[in-house]
Chains A and B, each alone.
Chain A
Amino acid sequence: MPFMKGRAPVRRTMKYLQDGALHLKSEIQVMTLNYNIGPGQQVHRGALDFVFWHLPQLLYKNPHTQFVTFKNLTPTPVFQFFFSNGKKLVIDVDSHSKDEIHSFIRSTLCKTEKEVEEEETKDEKNPGLFGLGSDSKKCICQIPGQVPCSGAVILPPQIRGKHRYTKES
Chain B
Amino acid sequence: MRRWTPTDLQTLIDSLLADGIRVLGPRVGDAAILYDEIDTLPIGCGDEQAPGYYRLTARHDQSRFGYNLGPSTWKQFLFPPEEAIFRVQDGEFISCREQPEKMAFIGVRACELAAVSIQDRVFMGDFTDPGYASRRENLLLIAVNCSQASGNCFCASTGDGPAVGVGADLILTEVRPEDPYYLVEAQTEAGQWMIAAVGGPVAAPEEIDARDEVIAATRQQMQREFATEGIADALLSALDHPHWDVVAERCLACGNCTQVCPTCFCSTTREHVNPVSLDVTHMRGWDSCFTADHSYLSGGVVRQSVKSRYRQWLTHKLAGWDQQFGLSGCTGCGRCISWCPVGIDLTEEVAEIRRPL
Do A and B come together as binding partners? no
